[in-house]
C-alpha cells in the first residue's frame, strides 16, 4: 500500500512538472511585431512625428489657454505608454521569446523602471507646467505598478510624477471615469495619447467600420483638443481586428484583414 502511494505521488509530481514545462515552453510567434517595432525604434520619421505632435500640442494648448470662457483651472491629460514612455523593448523581447502579451511579463518590464522617454514628451509636460496648466497622467498601467512608474518618470524628468497626478487602472480599462474625476476641479484643455480611447469614450468600441465614422465626425478636434501619437505595435485598433477575425492563427487573422488590389 505504502509503495502504491509513493508511485502515485511520483506520477503526480511528474505530470505536474510536464504541465509546467509545457506552459513555459509554449511559444507563439510574434513576428508580426517585427516591422512595427523596428519602425518605432529605428525610423527617423517616428522621431520627427513625435516632435511634430508635441509641437502641435504646445500650440494647441497655448491657444486653448487663451480662451476666455474658462471657469476652472486648466489641465492637460496625457497617457503614459507609447505616449510618454517608450516600451518598444518589451515588444522586441516578445519577438525574441515568442511570447504573446501577458501581465506577468509586462510587470517585470515595468518594475525595471527603465523605459526611455519618447521624443519631445518630457519637454511638453514642462512647457504645460510653465504655463500654469496642471499636468495629469491617465494610464492603464495598474495601481500596483504605481511605484516603478513614478520612479521611471521622475528619473526622466517628467513633471508631477506623483500619485496625485497619476490616475492608474483599478478595475476598468475605460478612462472615462478618471477623466470625469479630473473634470470636477479642472477644465481639460488638451488630451494626448497613442490610443483614441485616451481622448474620448466614444472611440472605445470601434464597431464594424473600425471607428472611422466617429473619427470623421470629430475631425475638427484632432490637432486642437486631441493630439494622437503613432503606435503601429498595438492598441484598440489591433484588438478589434483580432477579435472580429474568424478563428485562426494570429498571422492568418492579420493577413485576412489586408486590403490589396
Residues within the interface to Mg ion (CB under 5 A): 79, 81-83, 194
Distance (Å, whole) CA 208 – CA 43? 32
Which residue has the CB atom at the shortest distance from Mg ion?
81
What number of other Cβ atoms are within 10 A of residue 257's Cβ?
Answer: 14
Cβ-based burial of 25 (10 A; exposed 0-12, middle 13-18, buried ≥19): exposed
CB of 143 to Mg ion, least distance (A): 17
**Closest to Mg ion by CB, 83 or 94:** 83
| Residue among 81 and 145 whose Cβ is closer to Mg ion | 81
CA distances from 189 to 38, 133, 200, 216 (A): 33, 9, 13, 21
d(CA 247, CA 48): 38
The nearer residue to Mg ion, 134 or 194, going by C-beta atoms, is 194
* Shortest Å, Cβ 83 to Mg ion: 5
Cα-atom radius of gyration of the chain, to the nearest Å? 22
- Minimum Å gap between C-beta 92 and Mg ion is 17
Contacts of 224 (CB under 8 A, 6+ apart): 60, 63, 64
| Minimum separation from the CB atom of position 23 to Mg ion (A) | 29
Amino acid at each position: 500500500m505504502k509503495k502504491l502511494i509513493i508511485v502515485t505521488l511520483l506520477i503526480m509530481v511528474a505530470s505536474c512538472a510536464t504541465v509546467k514545462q509545457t506552459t513555459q515552453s509554449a511559444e507563439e510567434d510574434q513576428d508580426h511585431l517585427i516591422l512595427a517595432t523596428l519602425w518605432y525604434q529605428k525610423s527617423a520619421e517616428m522621431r520627427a512625428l513625435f516632435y511634430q505632435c508635441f509641437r502641435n500640442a504646445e500650440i494647441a494648448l497655448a491657444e486653448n489657454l487663451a480662451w476666455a470662457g474658462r471657469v476652472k483651472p486648466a489641465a492637460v491629460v496625457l497617457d503614459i505608454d507609447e505616449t510618454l514612455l517608450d516600451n518598444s523593448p518589451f515588444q522586441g523581447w516578445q519577438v525574441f521569446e515568442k511570447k504573446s502579451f501577458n501581465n506577468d511579463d509586462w510587470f517585470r518590464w515595468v518594475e525595471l523602471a527603465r523605459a526611455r522617454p519618447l521624443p519631445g514628451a518630457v519637454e511638453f509636460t514642462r512647457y504645460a507646467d510653465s504655463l500654469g496648466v496642471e499636468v495629469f497622467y491617465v494610464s492603464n498601467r495598474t495601481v500596483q505598478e504605481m511605484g516603478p512608474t513614478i520612479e521611471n518618470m521622475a528619473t526622466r524628468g517628467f513633471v508631477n510624477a506623483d500619485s496625485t497626478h497619476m490616475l492608474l487602472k483599478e478595475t476598468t480599462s475605460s478612462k472615462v471615469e478618471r477623466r470625469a474625476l479630473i473634470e470636477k476641479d479642472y477644465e481639460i484643455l488638451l488630451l494626448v495619447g497613442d490610443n483614441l480611447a485616451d481622448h474620448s469614450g466614444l472611440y472605445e468600441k470601434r464597431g464594424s467600420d473600425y471607428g472611422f465614422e466617429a473619427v470623421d465626425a470629430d475631425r475638427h478636434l484632432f490637432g486642437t483638443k486631441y493630439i494622437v501619437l503613432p503606435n503601429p505595435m498595438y492598441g484598440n485598433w489591433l484588438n478589434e481586428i483580432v477579435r472580429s477575425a474568424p478563428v485562426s492563427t494570429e498571422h492568418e487573422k492579420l493577413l485576412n484583414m489586408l486590403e490589396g488590389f
